[in-house]
Every structure is written in structure tokens, then in C-alpha cells.
Amino acid sequence: MEIGIVGLPNVGKSTIFNALIQANKAEVANYPFCTIEPNVGIVNVPDERLYKIYELEKSKMVTPATIKFIDIAGLVKGASKGEGLGNQFLSYIRQVSAIAHVIRCFEDEKISHVEGYINPIRDVEIVEIELIMADLKTLEKRLEKTKKLIKTDTKTAKAELETLIKAKNILEELKPLRENLKLFDNSEINFLEKELFLLTIKPMMYIANISEKDLPEGENNPSIIKLKEFALKKEIPIIILCGKIEQELIELPKEERKDFMEALNLRESGLDKIIKVGYKILNLITFFTTNPKETRAWTIKKGTKALKAAGKIHSDMERGFIAAEVINYEDYIKIGSLHKAKELGLIKIEGKDYEIKDGDIVYFRFNV
């Protein structure tokens, strides 16, 4: 899972990025384009279930799932035409699985705003319009190529042309493709996403960066109230956090963080919030494998069958798949041991078409 952190300059992207990866990797300063080359950080996905299985099964090592965060240079009006770091910025977004749009909802005289004053809805629309315009450019180039192909490959090119025109019509109404996915079938979505790398088809979340005085959820901040209403209408999840506090949190010893969060009435960290939302918008789940050597978490798409899940671990497992021994975490934790679960007949033998569930602990039988 790769999440690109985007937004206008000076909205707190790099501060939040540093907090998420728990390091001072990205430069933070009061001027546009402080971040030029994207900063990349990989963090472990916190999952208490994994460590409980590891503890109970007494494996030698534990390997969590990971998430990659990419802090991308600030976007400005005209980015789709090359303004600021335009084309460079947009090329980096094409690589990510989902977009986390950081929106400034705090006042600070010491930190200038590229548009002059705070207005979260305007800022959201600036970024969205630039992504739409960039997608239109991509589609127009592909349309020219496809129209030429119709002469030699009529059937395939004609179907592609219909998809391109449908997408172009949506974008010309200044609507992102993610809001209109029901108009496309799975093959069309795959084409627009995996072959054309369109930006507005990617899942998105909003991260509202608030001030300390507005903690924990910015209920009394008019900007947050408006942004929540806007996000609800767009069906985009919104995360409320204070980048400055998140940064302070990671600078504390681990044993002091819980007390610090409780004092601020914070139930979970920004990292926890973003990972939960990231899994949801990307339709991901976690399954586990465990043996004396290693207990490990694996991330897959919801609906993945056992055969493909085996291939996630190793191609040989998929090629020589025989069966999957499965118990869900909720059932496992009541027993506290795979050995006992087997004795009690609680481990089910499933075939290649079994749909892996979130929290499944799986042992794949295979032979090659």
C-alpha cells in the first residue's frame, strides 16, 4: 500500500509525513516547494492481533505488514500546465495507490499561505481541478492514438475509444472519476487505473491539519465544519489531526505517549487513523501465517481467494496449491493455541476458491 501525501505548499505535509514515519526526514520550512524531491518512508502497520499470535505461538520472529508514505512537493494553481513543480509533482502521484490530501485548517501568522488566507474548500478545489486537468491531457493523447488504431484493430480500439470518451465527458464536467465509478465496468476501471494511471480515479482521503486549540476534532472550528460537510457530500473520508502535536508525540519516549494522548483526549494517533482509512478506501484486509520460525501479516484485497493469497506468499504455493487450513483470529484467541484448535477440530480445510477473511490465520498445503 502506497499513500501519496499531497496538498498546497505550507499546509503541513512534511510535518505530518515526519510524524507518520516517526523521523525527521522531510525538511519543514515556511516557503513554497520546501519539498522538491519526494520523501519516502516505510512504516509497520500496527496490528495487535499479529503480536498476540506471535506471543502465543512463540515464533522466533514477527513480520508486520508495511505501508509506504510518499511526501510529494506542494501543488499550485496551473500545475497541470507546468506551473510550480507541476509535471514533476503529477508524475509522482501516478505511482501511488491512494491520495491523502492535507488541507490547512489552522491560522498562523508565522506560516504564510500560498493563496493569502485560509479557505479549506477553495484549497481542495484547486488540487482537484489540477488533477482533473492533468487527466484530461492524458486522455486526449490516448484518444489520438486510439483513433488511429481503429483502422487496424477495430474491435479492441472501438471498446477503448468508448471508455476514453466516457471518462473525458465526466472530467469535462469538472468531476473526478472516483465519484463516477459505477459508470464503468471492472475492465474499464483497470484500464484507466493500471494502464493510463489516471489521477482522479485513485481513492482519496482528506487530512484536516488543525491547531492545538481545536483538538481533538475541531468541533468549534468553522473551517472544519464546512470541510466535513463538503467531504460527506463527496463521500471522501476525512481525518482530523494536528500535525504539530503528532510531531511532538513521536519525540516522546514510547512509554510517555499514551499519557500525552490521554491528556489531549486523543484516542488514537494520526498514523492509526490514516492506516485504518487507507485499508478501507483501498478495500484491503489482513491475514496471518505463523510457524515456529515466523509470524507474519499479509495485506490483500478483500475478496481474494485462497489460491491467490497463497501466491502472495510464494508463487510455488499458488502453483502447487492443495488446500488451506484456516481459523479466524476471533476463534483462535478464545483457544489461545493452534495446537489446541486442531485437537478441538476448529481448523477448517478450505479449497482454492475459499475467500480469505480479515483476521484469518492460514496454513497453506502445497506440493511442487
**For residues 136 and 172, is the Cβ–Cβ distance under 8 A?**
yes
User: Is 10 part of any known ligand binding site?
Assistant: yes
Q: What whole-number distance in Å separates Cα of residue 128 and Cα of residue 79? A: 11
Instruction: Please state the length of the chain.
Output: 368
Q: Where are the beta strands (DSSP E) in the chain?
A: 2-6, 39-44, 61-63, 66-71, 98-104, 204-209, 238-241, 284-290, 294-301, 321-328, 348-350, 360-366
**Residue with grid cell 496454513, as numbered in its chain:** 363
User: Is 15 part of any known ligand binding site?
Assistant: yes
The residue type at 249: L
Q: What whole-number distance in Å separates Cα of residue 118 and Cα of residue 31? A: 16
The 10 Å Cβ neighbour count of residue 93 is: 19
**Residue with grid cell 492535507, as numbered in its chain:** 102
User: Is 14 part of any known ligand binding site?
Assistant: yes
User: Is 156 part of any known ligand binding site?
Assistant: no
Q: What whole-number distance in Å separates Cα of residue 218 and Cα of residue 265? A: 12
In the DSSP assignment, the letter for residue 18 is: H
Cis upstream peptide for 32 (omega within 30°): no
Could you tell me the strand order of the sheet in which 360-366 lies?
Answer: 61-63, 294-301, 284-290, 360-366, 321-328, 348-350
Q: What is the DSSP track for 113-173?
A: -TTSS--HHHHHHHHHHHHHHHHHHHHHHHHHHHHHHTTT-HHHHHHHHHHHHHHHHHHHT
Annotated binding residues, as ranges? 10-15
- Binding site members for ATP: 10-15
